[in-house]
């Protein structure tokens, strides 16, 4: 079933605005042409040069708009399919930073259907609603579409479990046995010196065996993600590094009195304009230092595929509060004031940072969580650094 006239006009207006085209030229044809022809004409009129694969993917979403059903039951089925499509994606097409033409087309097409959903029905489409909320705040649609206020779940980290030690606890038993041994030594103080010497030697051997047991504890502490102060930030300004082509410089708002200046190796993967007003996940307690003579006061965490051909900053949800600390369920340690580079703490921790098959950022499988939900990437099973 073809899209309604109003939906067709809204889609045309939004696309024309994106490409700085005069919408009246195309709106005059909305009653005569199918939406596929109209949107194809708009894309051809734009000066953006894109690859054949990109054009093919955009065409797929034009066909989605053309065939999107007006019937309520059928439209809900289509929304469910779109929700599945967005499980591993931040946006429908692109590098996960800037919405594409495909996102505008799909958003414009489904907007009226999403407006008509109840809160309960929206809650059944978490991936679609996360994307929908991102697009409606990221793109400037003017007066074309009503902004929908979404009910965001309030995240409360679970209380740490306190396990009481029972009499069967091996450590408790060991302590009791040690006390009994000490008492026995006192009552048998008149035993032969050779016996006492044997006991002392035995205790010394036991202590020497226990000593190495402290080493794994120290190692575990060194790779505890709670050592990192990870916060939600917003890039207010970005520009090219004055003396390094591979680097960008960003001013990032993390809710402090002063913006943090951060140098990132992102120049190959995105432009300064793409980073402007983008939410990011930032480690704030790395040791400040200069990178090619420019001071850097943090580290933007990015996901990358196996050959590092695709790299993008992690994306906190729109509902996350600016400056809030990212939490990890069941991990309640206190961040270091400043990480010690000599201990290589950061290097040891990042070995355990990955996105899962749905693109959710994790430490040893535990999600990066904020008050608005988990931090994500459009790259599934990616390393995070």
- Global pTM reads 0.49
Tokens of residue 58, six digits: 């955009």
- What is the per-residue pLDDT for 155? 44
Q: How far is CA 257 from CA 252, 277, 281, 284, 323, in A?
A: 11, 18, 18, 14, 11
Q: Is 263 left (phi over 0), alpha (psi -120 to 50) or beta?
A: beta
* C-alpha dihedral, 163 to 164 to 170 to 172, nearest 10°: 140
The CA distance from 335 to 338, in Å, is: 8
Name every residue whose Cβ is closer than 8 Å to that of residue 314 and which is 6 or more positions away in sequence: 280, 281, 301, 302, 303, 361, 368, 375, 376, 377, 384
For residue 158, give both structure tokens: 């679970």
Write down the pLDDT at residue 337: 93
For residues 147 and 136, give the distance between their C-alpha atoms in angstroms, rounded to a whole number: 7
Residue 170 CA: distances (Å) to CA of 167, 176, 204, 216, 228: 8, 10, 21, 18, 33
CA 269 – CA 240 distance, rounded (Å): 12
pLDDT of residue 187: 54
Residues 6 or more apart in contact with residue 81 via CB below 8 angstroms: none
pLDDT of residue 316: 94
Give the pLDDT means over successive 10-residue stretches in the chain (385 positions): 58 73 74 68 68 76 82 84 81 69 85 86 86 80 75 50 52 55 55 52 54 53 85 95 93 94 94 93 94 94 92 92 93 90 90 93 94 93 94
Adjacent-strand bridge partners of 380: none
């Amino acid at each position: 079933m073809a899209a309604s006239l109003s939906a067709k006009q809204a889609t045309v207006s939004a696309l024309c605005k994106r490409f700085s085209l005069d919408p009246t030229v195309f709106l005059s044809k909305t009653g005569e042409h199918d939406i596929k022809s109209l949107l194809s004409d708009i894309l051809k009129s734009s000066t953006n040069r894109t690859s054949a694969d990109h054009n093919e993917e955009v065409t797929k979403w034009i066909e989605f708009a053309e065939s999107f059903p007006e019937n309520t039951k059928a439209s809900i089925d289509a929304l469910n399919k779109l929700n599945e499509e967005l499980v591993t994606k931040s946006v429908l097409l692109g590098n996960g930073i800037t919405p594409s033409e495909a996102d505008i087309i799909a958003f414009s097409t489904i907007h009226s259907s999403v407006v008509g959903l109840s809160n309960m029905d929206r809650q059944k489409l978490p991936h679609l609603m996360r994307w929908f909320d991102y697009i409606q705040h990221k793109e400037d649609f003017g007066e074309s579409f009503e902004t929908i206020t979404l009910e965001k779940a309030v995240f409360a980290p679970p209380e740490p479990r306190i396990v009481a030690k029972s009499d069967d606890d091996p450590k408790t038993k060991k302590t009791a046995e040690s006390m009994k041994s000490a008492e026995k030594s006192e009552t048998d103080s008149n035993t032969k010196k050779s016996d006492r010497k044997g006991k002392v030697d035995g205790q010394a051997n036991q202590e020497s065996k226990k000593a190495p047991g402290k080493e794994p504890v120290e190692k575990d502490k060194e790779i505890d993600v709670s050592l990192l102060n990870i916060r939600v930030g917003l890039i207010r300004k970005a520009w090219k590094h004055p003396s390094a082509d591979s680097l960008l410089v960003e001013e990032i708002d993390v809710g402090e009195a002063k913006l943090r200046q951060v140098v990132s190796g992102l120049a190959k993967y995105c432009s300064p304009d793409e980073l402007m007003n983008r939410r990011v996940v930032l480690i704030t307690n790395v040791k400040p230092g200069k990178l090619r003579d420019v001071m850097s006061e943090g580290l933007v965490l990015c996901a990358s595929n196996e050959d590092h051909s695709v790299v993008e900053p992690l994306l906190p949800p729109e509902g996350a509060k600016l400056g809030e600390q990212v939490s990890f369920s069941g991990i309640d340690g206190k961040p270091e004031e400043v990480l010690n580079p000599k201990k290589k703490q950061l290097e040891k921790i990042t070995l355990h940072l990955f996105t899962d098959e749905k693109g959710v950022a994790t430490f040893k499988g535990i999600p990066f969580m904020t008050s608005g939900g988990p931090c994500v990437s459009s790259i599934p099973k990616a390393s995070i650094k």
